[in-house]
Amino acid sequence: MTNKELMDEDLKHIFHPCSQMKDYEKLPLIPIKKGKASYIEDFEENVYLDCISSWWVNIFGHSNDYINQKINEQLQDLEHVIFAGFTHKPAITLAKRLVDLTPEPLQKIFFADNGSSAIEISLKMAFQYFKNKGESRPLFVSLQNSYHGETMGALAVSDTGLYKDIYNDILIKALHAKTPSLHDEDEAIEDMRRVLKENEGKVSSVVIEPLIQCAGGMLMYDASYITKLRAVCDEFGVFLIADEIAVGFGRTGTMFAIEQANITPDFLCLSKGITGGYMPLSVVMFTDDIYNAFYCDYNEGKSFLDSHSYTGNTIACAVANAVLDIFEKDNVIEENKKKSKLIREKTQRFKTLDNVLEVRQRGMVCAIELKKLDSNRRINLEIFQEALSKGVYIRPLGNTIYFMPPYCFTDEELNKMIDVTYEIVESII
Ligand SMILES: *Cc1c(COP(=O)(O)O)cnc(C)c1O
């Protein structure tokens, strides 16, 4: 079948995510037949360099031999089992490994199956923790320009008008403090202090995306903000939720972004890279203190009764263990330092272009923000199409082109990604 035939079949029935379906009249869907390492290939033998790790999940590229082998092994024994009342080895192993990799106070793990659910779980637990102690704290605080997912609770703590405003009437109450990625760090901290002070005793948690506000345009800020925020949360007795769904697993140069701030959050949410793009899985990690607030006789009514059908899926956990194996055996964090350096050096020349506003980078994320053009022009789609015709897949967010390549990119592939993009940006009029 050709690309076109498959697209026509698709469009008869499928409503795609994050899409205005009418756009596909002009901007064809691309049916993908296979993927290997850094490349994906369509049904007409066009290959595309996947510079955004397929929405930030395929951290080791596509069809990794080691992960494939581990899935096959797991398939011989068990694919899935109910996770209430039952358990399995891949989950037990994974829990222990994640606890060992994260700050010591994070000793407990709740499994779910996507990032938004992990956020919902952390918000629910934070609220119920205080409820179980006889307090009602119905408010949540997040940062301006934040993104935490699309389910109602996750959307409520997000501040991305585009995805959220339509639903404002039906969302839980969240407050947004100034973000350090758009304001001076101390000003942002003071604003957080103001919000917490004005709502003292009513806020259960503050939720942030450490170091990079990804969906909000790859805006970046320094670890020192997180260190200061930890102290402010302690001062007001509210929980700090670190949403590392996008930045966890090596993206910012350390295994987890919070390491750079040298703090422990009360909740740590992980997903995306956790299975290298193979299976939906997420986890929420938290402290013994939080765990103990739910631990009692059933009739006391303090249980946390959240559940998802695919919670702790066995294959997903086996894949996550394979991902952690690769981090160890291939010394990924160290290898990424060399790749980040190459990206940094090679992207400097974007700064010389008149239409570039800023180039920013944290580890394996690099963003090139263009100056504003005519607001009716959908420059992101133009750039996407132009790059695609040259065999490079990027998916700019508004005016911001960004790279989030899989960690398997070779130097040659990194060069191609940057050179092709440079040519395009240079030629934009
Ligand atoms: C993607 C993302 C989410 C939501 O995860 P889903 O699996 O898409 O529901 C939440 N927070 C951040 C920071 C994300 O990047």
Read off the pLDDT of each residue in 157-168 and give the average, rounded to a whole number: 90
Higher pLDDT, 90 or 377: 90
Same domain, 381 and 423: yes
pTM: 0.98
Distance, in Å, from the CA atom of 359 to the CA atom of 369, rounded to the nearest integer, reads: 6
Of 276, 304, 329, the residue that ends a domain is: 329
Residue 425 has pLDDT above 90, yes or no: yes
Same domain, 143 and 272: yes
Ligand 1 atom with the smallest distance to the CA of 151 is 9
Distance, in Å, from the CA atom of 94 to the CA atom of 317, rounded to the nearest integer, reads: 7
Ligand 1 in reach of 248 Cβ (< 6 A): no
CA of 351 to the centre of ligand 1 (A): 30
Of 311, 329, 347, the residue that ends a domain is: 329
Same domain, 163 and 245: yes
Same domain, 234 and 350: no
Sheet with 203-208, edge to edge strand ranges:
106-112, 282-287, 267-270, 239-243, 203-208, 139-143, 174-177
pLDDT-above-90 percentage for the chain = 97
Per residue in 214-246, pLDDT (tens digit) is 999 999 999 999 999 999 999 999 999 999 999
Read off the pLDDT of each residue in 73-94 and give the average, rounded to a whole number: 98
Within a 13 Å sphere around the CA of 154, how many CA atoms are in the beta-carbon half? 19
Mutate which of 52, 147, 275, 282 for ligand 1? The one with the most ligand atoms within 8 Å of its CB, which is 147
In-domain check, residue 23: no
Residues 6+ apart with CB under 8 A from 356: 350, 368, 369, 370, 371, 425
Same domain, 410 and 343: yes
The whole-number pLDDT of residue 337 equals 98
Same domain, 340 and 307: no
Residue 91 has pLDDT above 90, yes or no: yes
pLDDT band of residue 270 (cuts 50, 70, 90) is very high
The residue length of the chain stands at: 429
CA of 77 to the centre of ligand 1 (A): 31
In-domain check, residue 22: no
Rounded to 5 degrees, φ, ψ at 414 are -60, -45
Distance, in Å, from the CA atom of 66 to the CA atom of 403, rounded to the nearest integer, reads: 25
Q: Is 363 left (phi over 0), alpha (psi -120 to 50) or beta?
A: left
Per residue in 171-185, pLDDT (tens digit) is 999 999 999 999 999
CA of 300 to the centre of ligand 1 (A): 34
What is the residue with the minimal CA distance to atom 5 of ligand 1? 115
Distance, in Å, from the CA atom of 372 to the CA atom of 177, rounded to the nearest integer, reads: 25
Distance, in Å, from the CA atom of 363 to the CA atom of 211, rounded to the nearest integer, reads: 11
The whole-number pLDDT of residue 162 equals 78
Same domain, 351 and 271: no
Same domain, 260 and 137: yes
User: Cβ(233)–Cβ(197) under 8 Å?
Assistant: no
CATH of the domain at 262: 3.40.640.10
Same domain, 244 and 107: yes
Per residue in 2-53, pLDDT (tens digit) is 999 999 999 999 999 999 999 999 999 999 999 999 999 999 999 999 999 9
Distance, in Å, from the CA atom of 306 to the CA atom of 303, rounded to the nearest integer, reads: 9
Mean pLDDT of the chain: 97
Same domain, 57 and 199: no
Task: Label residues 100-131 b or e (16+ Cβ within 10 Å = b).
Answer: ebbbeebbbbbbbbbbbbbbbbbbbbbbbbbb
Of 329, 361, 379, the residue that ends a domain is: 329
Ligand 1 in reach of 215 Cβ (< 6 A): yes
Domain count for the chain: 2
CA of 299 to the centre of ligand 1 (A): 35
pLDDT band of residue 160 (cuts 50, 70, 90) is confident
CA of 214 to the centre of ligand 1 (A): 9
Per residue in 325-380, pLDDT (tens digit) is 999 999 999 999 999 999 999 999 999 999 999 999 999 999 999 999 887 899 99
Per residue in 280-310, pLDDT (tens digit) is 999 999 999 999 999 999 999 999 999 999 9
In-domain check, residue 24: no
User: Cβ(285)–Cβ(101) under 8 Å?
Assistant: no
Per residue in 191-221, pLDDT (tens digit) is 999 999 999 999 999 999 999 999 999 999 9
Same domain, 423 and 338: yes
Three-state SS string across the chain, please? CCHHHHHHHHHHHCCCCCCCHHHHHCCCCCCEEEEEECEEEECCCCEEEECCHHHHCCCCCECCHHHHHHHHHHHHHCCCCCCCCCCCHHHHHHHHHHHHHCCCCEEEEEEECCHHHHHHHHHHHHHHHHHHCCCCCCEEEEECCCCCCCCHHHHHCCCCHHHHHHHHHHCCCEEEECCCCCCCHHHHHHHHHHHHHHCCCCEEEEEECCCEECCCCCEECCHHHHHHHHHHHHHHCCEEEEECCCCCCCCCCCCCHHHHHCCCCCEEEECHHHHCCCCCCEEEEEEHHHHHCCCCCHHHCCCCCCCCCCCCCHHHHHHHHHHHHHHHHCCHHHHHHHHHHHHHHHHHHHHHCCCEEEEEEECCEEEEEECCCCCCCCHHHHHHHHHHHCCEECCCECCEEEECCCCCCCHHHHHHHHHHHHHHHHHCC
In-domain check, residue 3: no
Please say whether the dihedral angle defined by the alpha carbons of residues 61, 66, 71 and 74, taken in this order, is positive or negative. negative
Expressed as residue numbers, the domain containing 271 is 68-329
CATH of the domain at 40: 3.90.1150.10
* Cα three-residue angle 207-209-215, rounded to 5 degrees: 120
Same domain, 214 and 313: yes
In-domain check, residue 358: yes
In-domain check, residue 158: yes
In-domain check, residue 2: no
In-domain check, residue 7: no
